[in-house]
Amino acid sequence: QKEVEQNSGPLSVPEGAIASLNCTYSDRGSQSFFWYRQYSGKSPELIMFIYSNGDKEDGRFTAQLNKASQYVSLLIRDSQPSDSATYLCAAKANSGYALNFGKGTSLLVTP
Amino acid sequence: DAGVIQSPRHEVTEMGQEVTLRCKPISGHNSLFWYRQTMMRGLELLIYFNNNVPIDDSGMPEDRFSAKMPNASFSTLKIQPSEPRDSAVYFCASSAQPNTGELFFGEGSRLTVL
C-alpha cells in the first residue's frame, strides 16, 4: 500500500507566524510531490509542487523535499487567517497520472 | 472559462437505489479523474481516463461502481445499488497535463445514502 502520511492537526498558529506542515511517503518510486489547499466545504486547489530535493519558494510558500528521508514539507510565512484550511500532500510516481493524497492537515491561523 | 462542472451538488437517496453522478471537464483537458473523499479515508482515487479511455480503475471499490466517458466533455460515475457506506463527497477533476500533477477539481457531489 502506497501511503502518504500527514498529521491531521489541527495546527494552530498566530497571525504573522510561520506555519510548518509535514508529510511522509512510503513509495520510493514517487518522484513528484504536491500541496493542495482545501477550504472547508470546497474543492482542493494546487498551491505548490516540487520535484527535486531542496527548497522551492513561491511567495509566502516554501516547499521542501528530502527524498532520502521520504519527507515533504510546506512552510507558510507571515500566516494569515485566510490561510486557515486543510492542506493535502500528494505524491506521484513517474509512470502514470494518479496522485496519492494524504488525509490532510488542518491549519488554523488565529488573529 | 468555466471550471469542472459536476452535478448534482447534493444527493440524498435510500439504500439500494441507483445513483448517477455527472461531470463536465474543462474544455481541452484530456485527462479526467474521479475521487472520493471521506473523513476516515481522505481523498481516494477511484478511476481516471486519458483521451476518454479508462487507464486505471483499481480504486473502484467493487462491481457496484462503474464509470464511463463517452466523449471528451462528459463522464458519469454510477453506483448501483447504493449502500450507506458509499456516503461521501465525490470529486471529478480534469487536467491538460496530467504529468504535472495539476488537477482542477469540480465543486464535488455530496452523496448521502440512508
- Judging contacts by C-beta atoms under 8 Å, the chain B residues touching residue A46 are 101-103
Phi then psi for residue A42, to 5 deg, are -115, 180
B103 closest CB neighbour out of A46, A96, A104:
A46
- pLDDT tens track for A14-30: 999 999 999 999 988 88
Average pLDDT for residues A70-83, to the nearest whole number?
97
Per-residue pLDDT at A98: 86
Find, among A111, A104, A89, the residue nearest to A9 by Cα. Answer: A104
Query: Does B99 lie at the interface with A, CB-CB under 8 angstroms?
Result: yes
**Confidence check: pLDDT of B1 > 90:** no
- DSSP for B30-53? -EEEEEEEETTTEEEEEEEEETTE
Residues near A49 by beta carbon (within 8 Å), at least 6 away in sequence: A32, A33, A34, A35, A63, B100, B101, B102
Phi then psi for residue A33, to 5 deg, are -140, 145
**Confidence check: pLDDT of A2 > 80:** no
Rounded distance, CA A30 to CA B35, Å? Answer: 19
Minimal C-alpha gap between B14 and chain A (Å): 23
What are the CA-CA distances from residue A34 to residues A13, A31, A111, B98 (Å)? 22, 10, 28, 13
**C-alpha cell recorded at residue B31:** 485527462
A43 and B106: CB-CB below 8 Å?
A: yes
Per-residue pLDDT at B99: 81
Rounded distance, CA A4 to CA A70, Å? Answer: 10
Per-residue pLDDT at A29: 86
Query: Does A82 lie at the interface with B, CB-CB under 8 angstroms?
Result: no
Rounded distance, CA B69 to CA B16, Å? Answer: 24
Percent of chain A beyond pLDDT 90? 84
**Confidence check: pLDDT of B98 > 90:** no
Asked whether A64 and A33 are in contact (CB, 8 A), the reply is no
Rounded distance, CA A36 to CA A57, Å? Answer: 15
